[in-house]
Structure 1
Amino acid sequence: MNAFLARLPDPELDWVDGLPYSKRFRDIYCASDGPAETQRVFIEPARLLDRIAAARQFTVVELGFGTGLNFLTLALKLRDCCSTTRVRYIAIERYPLESHDLMRALGSFGIPSHDVQALAAQLPPRVPGWHRRYFNSGDLELTLFYGDVALGMKELTGRDKAGVDAWFLDGFAPSRNPGMWDPAILAQMRDVTKTNGTVTTFSAAGEVRRALQANGFQVRRIEGKPGTKRHTTLGLIADTSYRPPPLTKNVRVVGGGLAGSIAARTLAMKGLDVELIEKQAYLGSATSAIPAAIQHPRYSAANTPLAQYRVHAYAHASALLSQFGSTRVGGLHLPDDGMPPERLHKIAELLGSGWCEWLDADAVAEVTQGLIRRAGAWHPVSAIVKGPDICAKLSQHRRIRIITDQAHVFVTACDVPTIFATGCELLGSSEQVSLETMVIPGQVDAFVPTEPKPLTACIVAHNGYVASSESRLYAGSTYEYTRWAPGVATKTNRARITHLFPKQRLNHVESFRERRVVSSDRLPIVGQVGEHSWVSLAHGSSGTISTPFAAELLASAILQEIPISSDAAGRLLAPERFRSRQARRPNPLTRGFQARPNAE
């Protein structure tokens, strides 16, 4: 059975003389001199810093992420030398640590606390699959695979064509963790290692050295820590048959809303020169200009590709947009028609308190400072997003060239890879029907209490949402599948607030109306539609969550690198899904759905 969404096994962590110790493997995670050991074992023998400085792009793969010590040590060294090389750091870990344990483990090595906290804050929930985070202004890309090493290596070697420059083998000792050192895995390493690629490891075990030699690596023993007899190992492969594809250098993004701006930034962080085209005078207009968009999850606790997509997309978006000005206020999900209490309990158990925690009424009152006194699920990293501000910050990158006041033109035969993120300005009537999309008006309303007093900033989800921010209460967004009479949307949104806060008296301040694109299955449309043409469309009211994930999928596909989704989750969003469905059943848009309902 595929583990699309399941909590990973506990690492069975203990502490010995202040160092993290694995009870499962009966071994310590790292030596007492931590960063010095990383430098001595993994970085210096491979001449890593010199090789990175001479490269446009460099890939490190670590088997056994553990405490993150090797990654953080390398990250700080790259930052200190002002490296602008794009570095991909890919790590596979079966038993990931919780954030608080990682902070404790790294806290004893003299690493600046803010750097330790920055890494801990970016850790994904402990669920299977691929996760991606950015550091050092985006030049350092951390890709984590949580799961079995055999599966991780199979997917990496089968789906990533960029090749590997350096391997860190840092699993527990071969005698205690033989699965990590399987000869079949070492053979897979050879198949994707680039010429002059290296392997460094603390292990000098004979079986490891012989397996590396059998796969074409020239092996050397490296002197260990002064005063000890322990040696480490360096492997070098002088020439291989592996040839990565030529690096893509240029890409175009059409549409400067949230989907387009995030796509442009993601591609720029991966080393591409990006031309970002927007028809308006500024980025973040139209639907992306909503004054208080929320970033709050739509979780499912089922073990399905859809549930995996929702968790991974939310975690990725939360981590990325927090670097560009989203405001984490926390979100309370009260049981409602689509999310009964037992499902919220299950989600909290699955993800852990760093992502979702069931709170009783008193605890809810405490975190909302008395705003709400009802039991519900608390999501501490839910955030409020101001679209224009975020889009402006995303676009501020040395590799992004912005062109505004230029009409959007859709052509499938593009001269460079082109991503169309054009929102309601769809590809044309035929594409709209074939992709099963509808344009639906909606409205968000802002209110202020008649008795002004400080409001705790937070999000409350309950058959819609209410967000408090900067002394205002925002409610929405309406989904108007048919024409609504004037004033109905505002009345509906006012009712959302009064249902949650019956004693609150409100003055209406303003309304924000726009149209959003939704697909017939309510999922975004992300993928290739022509030889050099790609789309990121139909994000509906979930764009603050789905657009960063979509950008990663598209960038990974264009560059032929490992994506942050399983094949099954990727197929959920692919444009061709509608073609296969229409071969089995009629297109729902031809059976009475109104493709473009009139807006007020």
Structure 2
Amino acid sequence: MNNSPINTASLSWNELGTPISEQFGDIYFSNQDGLEETRHVFLHGNHFPSRFGTHVRSECVIAETGFGTGLNFLTLWQAFEQFRQTSPDSRLKRLHYVSFEKFPLTKSDLQSAHCHWPELEKYSQALCSQWPLAIAGCHRIILADGAITLDLWFGDINILLPQTRQALHNKVDAWFLDGFAPSKNPQMWSETLFQSMADSMRENGTFATFTAAGIVKRGLQSVGFEINKIKGFGQKREMLTGIFPHPPSPEFLPYYARPSATKAQNIAIIGGGIASTFTALSCLRRGANVTLYCEDKQPATNASGNRQGVLYPLLNGKSDELEQFFTTAFLFAHRTYDNLSKAGIPFSHQWSGVAQIIYNEKVRKKAQRIIDNSIPFAQIACYLDEDEVNKLSGLDVNYDALFYPQAGWLSPTELTINTLKYAEKLGLTLRFNHQVTQISAQEAFWHLEIVHHDGEGTTQLQSQHDCVILANGHRITDFSQSAKLPISAVRGQVSHIPTTKTLSKLKTVLCYDGYFTPVDHQDNLHCVGASFRRDRLDLVVSTQEQENNQTHLTQCLAKAPWVKDVDFSRNEARIGIRCTIRDHLPLLGEVPDFETLRVAYTHLDRFKRRKQTPALAPAYPQLYIISALGSRGLCSAPLSAEILASQIFDEPFPVEDNVLNALHPNRFWVRPLLRGKPIEVE
């Protein structure tokens, strides 16, 4: 992970209004005509837009060194939109743009720079409306109703590229080799950059750059690019273009490989909650025909069916995969929910902030570790003393807290139900009361055995699909292929508390060893949660768990005078069964073939010691899983769905390689095997 905070660009502006980087002492685009320079160097240098018409896949992936003002991106977007208007039946449907930026512009500077190009105004507005916080890592931005995916990687490209070898491996069709001149920014033009470009290229992928410097030409030639010198823009004599004529290189870590689907036109998803909802959206956006099989009569009947759920990141001060994933996931989820709301999809929500209460010394030490060591902390959280907490929350809480101002609560039930209605308009086929009882691999498809409950009886049905995605929570182990996955089912009871004149003043979510939400005015209730029980999986309201929720509230917030009056006497609650796993990270990817893997990888540690390459980890082709979202599905589901769809459709991933590996479904088996320890059959 890039463990350095992100500094935004320091700009000055010359007499022509062109932005100048104070860090590099160079202009961002040509004083003569930045827009035409971009078209000449990067678009025409890579044979765009004429190349759109001959592209053989439904998505074209462009990578860039240095996002800068976004001029290259906006210009390409404009050209692609014009192409789609004139060629609506072409095979190419989507652009995926991956760009690296060490010093991102502030939103206001970005808008000022874009004033140069009125013809790009609508694209600029769309980009600026989703411009992310300056936090290290990937910010995936979905634009143009899903036709454009922008992955903005903030950080030093020579640190990030080695961390994204798998994320970009054999996926890039064209590179825009931009950034400031080698004389102004020599650190960027490195062997790491050139080798990473080669690793990322599809066969016959191209590049273009404004420079003709010898260090660039020699560096690209040394890793296999064929180079051409052509006329530069304006007064510039020469520039470089080229092609990478080589076949794809092998996987870097075969035991954590993520092969794409050979065919993904007809996809079945088994589930009915938030994971399956966003997986369906991600697959629909990529042009697939998707059928969702839900054994219940309506969606969101299990863990996704609570009245209120809390959305906030998981920081731990360790800069590990858990913190990396949940920081990226939180930011993406927030953008996703905002976009859904803007699209008219109704769901109750308030981004009123979340206060993580510091209620004892153990929690204070943990909070201090987060403050001291969590890189994203300064951008997405702050420390509040008890007076500030009382003022922001609207009640006398009387404790210090870590406060997440962009966080808040939303209704998982409404989100799931209404997003599925939206997905149905996009082409999703919904099959409620359809219980998939068995899945089996046939020659070219997956065969599903289904029991349809129609209210009067049952009907045996069958169906066939290219791919199957298991998104049915703890029920994933019902199928023989996924029965060995080390997940646990955990019961959670959320108490429903009637509001009062005092409680209605609460403005932020309070998190402690539990949580207390502001009032949901639809039913004038607060949610207090939640219990964790592994020994009981029924859905009957438990008086004991009600009392436990009350005890956690009164003990953790003992200095808050109002907690003693919180009324649990109505014994109203809702129970859901979470799907959890011991490292708290989702399971995303192909379902591992446990028995074959256990035998084939018996001596995996020897391969590692001898630096030999084993075969790809055995898995069930075209059978995927998105599971173990636990109690943080609101935070993790949208990004998890994008990661899984990126694998299925052979696209760049929006997280670093170490995070990808930490999300792999076979990780609990591969890790001991790499240490020379056998895995036991349960």
- Scaled to the shorter chain, the TM-score interval is 0.7 to 0.9
**Identity of aligned pairs, percent?**
25
2:302 matched residue in structure 1: 286
**Kindly tell me: are residues 496 and 20 of structure 1, through their superposed partners in 2, closer, same or farther at Cα, counting changes over 3 Å?**
farther
**Kindly tell me: are residues 250 and 466 of structure 1, through their superposed partners in 2, closer, same or farther at Cα, counting changes over 3 Å?**
same
2:643 matched residue in structure 1: 553
What amino acid is aligned across from residue 533 of structure 2 in structure 1?
A: E
Pick from 68, 71, 74 the counterpart of residue 69 of structure 1. Answer: 71
Pick from 517, 531, 553 the counterpart of residue 478 of structure 1. Answer: 531
Q: Where do 1:371-450 residues align within 5 Å?
A: 372=397, 374-391=399-416, 392-393=418-419, 395-396=423-424, 398=426, 400-411=428-439, 413=441, 415=446, 416-428=466-478, 434-450=484-500
- Please list every run of 5 or more consecutive structure 2 residues that lacks an aligned counterpart in the other structure: 86-91, 250-259, 342-346, 447-465, 592-619
* CA distance in 2: counterparts of 1:469 and 1:220, whole angstroms: 65
Matched, 1:221 2:219: no
1:575 matched residue in structure 2: 665
Q: CA deviation at 1:541?
A: 0.6
Matched, 1:240 2:245: yes
Q: CA deviation at 1:295?
A: 1.4
Contact 2:293 2:432 in 1 (8 A): yes
Question: Residue deviations 1:137-166, cap 9 Å, x none?
Answer: 122111233444345445656554554333
Q: CA deviation at 1:86?
A: 1.3
1:169 matched residue in structure 2: 177
* CA distance in 2: counterparts of 1:374 and 1:98, whole angstroms: 34
What amino acid is aligned across from residue 534 of structure 1 in structure 2?
A: Y
**Kindly tell me: are residues 494 and 70 of structure 1, through their superposed partners in 2, closer, same or farther at Cα, counting changes over 3 Å?**
farther
2:543 matched residue in structure 1: 487
* CA distance in 2: counterparts of 1:168 and 1:120, whole angstroms: 24
- Please list every run of 5 or more consecutive structure 1 residues that lacks an aligned counterpart in the other structure: 591-600
Please state whether the residue corresponding to 2:476 is helix, strand or coil: coil
**Kindly tell me: are residues 347 and 125 of structure 1, through their superposed partners in 2, closer, same or farther at Cα, counting changes over 3 Å?**
farther
Question: Residue deviations 1:370-393, cap 9 Å, x none?
Answer: 565643222122132322433332
2:393 matched residue in structure 1: 368
Contact 2:6 2:155 in 1 (8 A): no
* CA distance in 2: counterparts of 1:375 and 1:107, whole angstroms: 44
1:564 matched residue in structure 2: 654
Question: Residue deviations 1:17-64, cap 9 Å, x none?
Answer: 465433332223335665565445433554534433664221111111
TM-score w.r.t. length of structure 1:
0.83
Matched, 1:6 2:68: no
1:94 matched residue in structure 2: 102
**Kindly tell me: are residues 120 and 5 of structure 1, through their superposed partners in 2, closer, same or farther at Cα, counting changes over 3 Å?**
farther
Contact 2:278 2:641 in 1 (8 A): yes
TM-score w.r.t. length of structure 2:
0.74
Please state whether the residue corresponding to 2:509 is helix, strand or coil: strand
Q: CA deviation at 1:258?
A: 0.8
* CA distance in 2: counterparts of 1:185 and 1:582, whole angstroms: 34
Please state whether the residue corresponding to 1:318 is helix, strand or coil: helix
Question: Residue deviations 1:75-110, cap 9 Å, x none?
Answer: 455457766821110112233445565455546765
* CA distance in 2: counterparts of 1:490 and 1:5, whole angstroms: 44
What amino acid is aligned across from residue 231 of structure 2 in structure 1?
A: R
2:353 matched residue in structure 1: 330
2:580 matched residue in structure 1: 518
Matched, 1:308 2:334: no
What amino acid is aligned across from residue 3 of structure 2 in structure 1?
A: A
* CA distance in 1: counterparts of 2:550 and 2:35, whole angstroms: 56
2:272 matched residue in structure 1: 256
Pick from 121, 145, 153 the counterpart of residue 153 of structure 2. Answer: 145
**Kindly tell me: are residues 568 and 152 of structure 1, through their superposed partners in 2, closer, same or farther at Cα, counting changes over 3 Å?**
closer
What amino acid is aligned across from residue 219 of structure 1 in structure 2?
A: K
Question: Residue deviations 1:412-465, cap 9 Å, x none?
Answer: 525322210111323238778732322221111222323278545432211121
1:597 matched residue in structure 2: none
Matched, 1:202 2:225: no
What amino acid is aligned across from residue 476 of structure 1 in structure 2?
A: G
1:345 matched residue in structure 2: 371
1:503 matched residue in structure 2: 562
* CA distance in 2: counterparts of 1:132 and 1:252, whole angstroms: 25
The farther-off stretch of 472-481 and 517-526 is 517-526
Aligned-pair Cα RMSD in Å: 3.8
The farther-off stretch of 362-371 and 289-298 is 362-371
Question: Residue deviations 1:521-541, cap 9 Å, x none?
Answer: 443323322222222222211
What amino acid is aligned across from residue 543 of structure 2 in structure 1?
A: G
